[in-house]
């Protein structure tokens, strides 16, 4: 029996519910992801998916809470950034739970949640974070009581690059795992553009080149391999630059694409060279999930960062630099 925070995630393709104790232990994590047979995510369809799955997922979470006699003390939800129609489903559910149970509502920044859930498993507790997902590609440091982006993509995210390539190869969403699987069967590397500018990266030229090669009939496995190796090398180089610049001693990897073993291998080699640690978020917490929202919610609860219902509108474009991080005050 513990005091717990319930977390709801609904920024894009996944509706997730999680339960976290006030000590930061993750007790429950369940989600359902909108997938397609072919083509990408349609925001309205993803929102409909959430509307359909939210009731039973929330029901299961409450069943768990009741069976274990936990005490619900707050409800946290992903307040942004994300797709407006999807975010609003989580917002409505969180408001309803807050009013029905008379517990405070807490707004969590989705990107901060991906970063914090990886930091929970980090060694030094002050790593730089490579955050790679469908919506983001950023190298983030903690400085001056904020998370700051020190390197990022100048155009599309790495997850988007691989999801679009997958779509062109005839796979649905999420496509990255399919491209990674295909890459494992390749026999040769094709020449594709590599673009790192300082600590930033550009993936759109790589996508254009890949699409052109696909049209002239190259082997899809060779193309997948070449795009994956090139994109991940770019990420590793930019991360290495930030590691050296900041003088931090750890890199942690998070976000949906953190499940790519090849990327972890490359980062591990970079860290080894700089006598630094490398850690990666557990795979069940890599992609969008409710547990990371409950986890950050529990830290915000301890800092008494509650929202009034009228302040709980969603922020589809909420930037990470604008988020206060009250729980890390003592470290900096
Ligand atoms: N097993 C996997 N390995 C690598 N990438 C994956 C895997 N499963 C999903 N992905 C990719 O992760 C990305 C989604 O990341 P996630 O953090 O869940 O969502 P979002 O970007 O919407 O916040 C997509 O690009 C998807 O293709
Ligand atoms: Mg995400």
The DSSP-derived string for 4-27 is EEEEEE-SSSEEEEEEEETTS-EE
Q: Does residue 324 sit in the same domain as residue 210?
A: no
Q: Is the pLDDT of residue 194 over 90?
A: yes
Q: Which atom of ligand 1 is nearest to the CA of 160?
A: 25
Same domain, 54 and 76: yes
Q: Are 136 and 276 in the same domain? A: yes
Q: Does the pLDDT value for residue 174 go beyond 80?
A: yes
Query: Peptide bond before 81: cis, by omega within 30 degrees of 0?
Result: yes
pLDDT (0 to 100) of residue 144: 84
Per-residue pLDDT at 330? 54
Same domain, 147 and 264: yes
Q: Quick check: is 8 in a domain?
A: yes
pLDDT at 38: 85
The closest alpha carbon to 196, from 236, 162, 251, belongs to 236
Q: What is the pLDDT of residue 164?
A: 97
pLDDT (tens digit, 9 = 90+) per residue, 114-172? 999 999 999 999 999 999 999 999 999 999 889 999 999 999 999 999 999 999 999 99
Is 135 a domain residue?
Answer: yes
Q: What is the pLDDT of residues 19-62, one digit of tens each?
A: 999 999 999 999 999 999 888 889 999 999 999 999 999 999 99
152 touches 332 (CB < 8 A): no
Residues 93 and 164 in one domain: no
- What span, in angstroms and rounded, lies between the C-alpha atoms of 195 and 4? 45
Peptide bond into 186 cis (omega under 30): no
The total number of structural domains in the chain stands at 2
Question: Which residue spans within 56-135 are E strands per DSSP?
Answer: 71-80, 105-109, 128-132
Residues 295 and 275 placed together within one structural domain of the fold: no
Residue 32 within any structural domain of the chain: yes
Answer yes or no: is the C-beta of 163 below 6 A from any ligand 1 atom: yes
Q: Assess whether 107 and 171 both reside in one domain.
A: no
Task: Calculate how far, in angstroms, residue 148's C-alpha sits from the geometric centre of ligand 2.
Answer: 17
262 and 276 belong to one structural domain: yes
Q: Is residue 218 over pLDDT 70?
A: yes
Q: Which of 14, 40, 159, 177 to mutate to test ligand 1, by most ligand atoms within 8 A of the CB atom?
A: 159
> Is the distance from the beta carbon of residue 159 to the nearest atom of ligand 1 less than 6 Å?
yes
99 lies in the same domain as 182: no
Q: Are residues 14 and 87 in the same domain?
A: yes
- Sheet (strand 3-9) strand order: 26-33, 14-21, 3-9, 71-80, 105-109
- Asked, for residue 244, whether it belongs to a domain, the answer is yes
CB 135 within 8 A of CB 159: yes
Domain range enclosing 182: 124-280
272 and 181 in a common domain: yes
pLDDT at 65 over 70: yes
Residue 93 sits in the same domain as residue 229: no
Q: What is the mean pLDDT of the chain?
A: 97
Q: Is residue 119 assigned to a domain?
A: no
**Nearest atom within ligand 1 for CA of residue 258:** 4
User: What digits encode the pLDDT tens for the residues 246-301?
Assistant: 999 999 999 999 999 999 999 999 999 999 999 999 999 999 999 999 999 999 99
CA of 66 to the centre of ligand 1 (A): 32
Is 133 within a domain?
Answer: yes
What is the number of the ligand closest to the CA of 111? 2
First and final C-alpha spacing in the chain: 34
The residue from 280, 295, 320 where one domain ends is 280
Q: Residue ranges of the alpha helices (H) in 137-289? A: 158-168, 176-183, 204-215, 220-246, 261-273
pLDDT at residue 332 tops 80: no
Contacts by 258-262 with C-beta closer than 8 Å and gap 24+?
A: 258/118, 258/132, 258/283, 258/286, 259/177, 259/283, 259/286, 259/287, 260/176, 260/180, 260/228, 260/232, 262/180, 262/183, 262/228, 262/229, 262/232
**How close is the Cα of 133 to the center of ligand 2, in Å?**
6
Is the pTM higher than 0.85?
Answer: yes
101-105, 241-245, 260-264, 324-328 — which is least confidently predicted? 324-328
CATH code for the domain in which residue 45 is found: 3.30.420.40
């Amino acid at each position: 029996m513990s005091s717990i925070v319930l977390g709801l995630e609904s920024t894009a393709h996944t509706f997730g519910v999680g339960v976290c104790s006030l000590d930061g232990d993750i007790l429950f994590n369940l989600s359902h992801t909108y997938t397609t047979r072919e083509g990408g995510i349609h925001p309205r369809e993803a929102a409909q998916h959430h509307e359909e799955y939210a009731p039973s997922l929330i029901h299961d979470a409450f069943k768990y809470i009741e069976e274990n006699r936990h005490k619900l003390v707050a409800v946290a939800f992903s307040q942004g950034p994300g797709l407006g129609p999807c975010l609003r489903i989580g917002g409505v559910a969180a408001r309803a739970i807050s009013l029905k149970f008379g517990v405070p509502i807490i707004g969590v920044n989705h990107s901060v949640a991906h970063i914090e859930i990886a930091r929970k498993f980090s060694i030094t507790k002050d790593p730089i974070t490579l955050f790679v997902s469908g919506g983001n590609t950023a190298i983030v440091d903690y400085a001056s009581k904020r998370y700051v982006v020190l390197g990022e993509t100048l155009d599309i995210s790495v997850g988007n690059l691989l999801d679009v390539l997958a779509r062109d190869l005839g796979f649905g969403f999420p496509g990255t795992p399919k491209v990674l699987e295909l890459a494992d069967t390749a026999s040769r590397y094709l020449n594709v553009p590599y673009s790192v500018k300082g600590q930033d990266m550009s993936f759109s030229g790589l996508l254009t080149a890949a699409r052109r090669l696909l049209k002239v009939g190259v082997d899809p496995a060779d193309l997948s391999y070449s795009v994956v190796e090139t994109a991940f090398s770019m990420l590793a180089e930019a991360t290495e630059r930030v590691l050296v610049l900041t003088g931090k001693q750890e890199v942690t990897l998070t976000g949906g694409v953190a499940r790519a073993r090849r990327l972890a291998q490359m980062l591990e080699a970079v860290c080894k060279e700089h006598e630094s640690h490398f850690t990666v978020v557990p795979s069940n917490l890599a992609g969008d999930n409710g547990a990371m929202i409950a986890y950050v919610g529990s830290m915000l609860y301890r800092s008494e960062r509650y929202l009034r219902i009228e302040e709980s509108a969603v922020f589809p474009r909420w930037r990470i630099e604008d988020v206060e991080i009250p729980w890390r005050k003592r470290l900096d």
